[in-house]
Structures are given as C-alpha cells and as structure tokens.
C-alpha cells in the first residue's frame, strides 16, 4: 500500500485506508498533498497571517483550510499573535514527544497498567511513527516513558528488559497505523485502574 508524505487532514491516515467517517475518503491524494505543499512552501520561508496566506494561495479551498487546521492541530504550526509560524523539524520533534491530545495524553502521563500494556505501547509507537520520529528516536522515547511513567515498574511484561520489550514491538512502527483505536482501549483500562 502506498504511504503518503502528509497525513489526511480529516483522519490522519497516510494510506488509502481512511476512518469510516472521514470526509476526505475519495479525495485525490494529489490534491491533498498539493494543498500541504502550497502551505508549507510559503510557511517555510517566513511567518504569515492567515489572511495573507489565504490571499497568496491562488486556488484556496476547503482542502487548504483543512490542511492548515491539521498543521495547527498537530502543532506543526505555531501562532504568535496573528502570525503563523512553521516549527523547525527539531522544535517539532521536541514538542511532539509529549502528546497533549487524548487518548495519548492519559497513556503518556499516567503510564500503562497490566491489561492495557499491549494497546498502550502500540498506540505510542504508532503515534511516534505518525509524527515522523525515526525508529531510533521512537525507541529512545519509549524507554524514557517506560521508566519515567512507572509503567515498567508496574510489571506484567514477559520480556526481561525494557529494551527487549521495545524491540519486540518494531513491527508496530513498520506497520505504522492504528494508534487511535489502540489508544482508546488502553485509556479505558487505565482510567478504571488509576
Ligand atoms: Zn481521512
């Protein structure tokens, strides 16, 4: 299945498999990617007010608006007053390592509990893959999280070390989708226990 460089503005997929209720199912990927390129080509040069950006993109349409709101929602673009600023790759990576949206926020902050481990780890790894971390960066983040959130100490793993555990989940990174469903199931278990 082809993988696209940008996430669907509606459901974040990078493949042709959209969520059931996604309004962009059936929209051409060339149109979606074209809209991102229109925005990023401009924002990578300097900051823009939203009005100026809209005026500068010749055929501004619903896909542009949705792509911009996805960039904002995913924190790729920051707002300083009325100016939109694109984060550098380094700034962005630093920011996304602590997910601020649910269900990932709960998993990240509270840590996982036995019974939720598979889904928690699946969701975090798939999320880090989605936001563009390399496998090495993902692994490093997962090791920090297992330690600092108390997840490893709570037990319930067959593996003997956190490294072994994370390595055993590399297929999730390679597969690269599905964090939302796994995340919801993990959060439900964590919310009941903690
Ligand atoms: Zn979609």
Q: Is 55 left (phi over 0), alpha (psi -120 to 50) or beta?
A: alpha
Ligand 1 centroid to Cα of residue 130, in Å, is 14
Ligand 1 centroid to Cα of residue 137, in Å, is 26
Domain match, 3 and 72 both: yes
Domains: count for the chain:
2
Query: How confident is the prediction for the chain on average, in pLDDT?
Result: 91
Instruction: Please name the residues in contact with 99: beta carbons below 8 A apart, sequence gap of 6 or more.
Output: 105, 107, 108, 124, 127
- What is the per-residue pLDDT across 38-91, written as a single tens digit (0 to 9) for each? 999 999 999 999 999 999 999 999 999 999 999 998 788 999 999 999 998 888
Domain match, 134 and 182 both: yes
Give the model's pLDDT for residue 5.
82
Domain match, 118 and 153 both: yes
Residue 1 belongs to what domain range? 1-87
Domain match, 117 and 182 both: yes
Domain match, 101 and 131 both: yes
Ligand 1 centroid to Cα of residue 64, in Å, is 14
Domain match, 100 and 187 both: yes
Domain match, 53 and 140 both: no
Confidence of residue 176 (pLDDT cuts 50, 70, 90): low
Domain match, 62 and 101 both: no
Domain match, 165 and 116 both: yes
In whole angstroms, give the CA distance from residue 107 to residue 119.
Answer: 10
Domain match, 96 and 6 both: no
Residue 42's Cα: distance from chain center in Å?
A: 23
């Amino acid at each position: 299945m082809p993988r696209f460089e940008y996430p669907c503005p509606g459901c974040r997929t990078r493949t042709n498999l959209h969520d059931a209720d996604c309004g962009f199912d059936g929209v051409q990927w060339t149109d979606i990617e074209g809209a991102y390129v229109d925005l990023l080509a401009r924002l990578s040069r300097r900051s823009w007010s939203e009005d100026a950006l809209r005026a500068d993109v010749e055929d501004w349409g619903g896909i542009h608006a949705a792509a911009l709101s996805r960039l904002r929602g995913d924190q790729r673009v920051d707002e300083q007053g009325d100016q939109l600023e694109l984060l550098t790759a380094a700034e962005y990576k630093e920011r996304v390592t602590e997910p601020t949206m649910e269900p990932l926020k709960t998993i990240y902050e509270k840590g996982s509990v036995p019974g939720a481990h598979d889904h928690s780890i699946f969701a975090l790894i798939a999320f880090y893959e989605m936001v563009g971390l390399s496998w090495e960066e993902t692994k490093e983040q997962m090791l920090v999280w297992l330690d600092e959130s108390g997840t490893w100490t709570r037990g319930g793993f067959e593996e003997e070390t956190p490294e072994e555990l994370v390595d055993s989940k590399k297929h999730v990174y390679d597969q690269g989708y599905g964090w939302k469903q796994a995340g919801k199931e993990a959060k439900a278990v964590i919310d009941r226990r903690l």
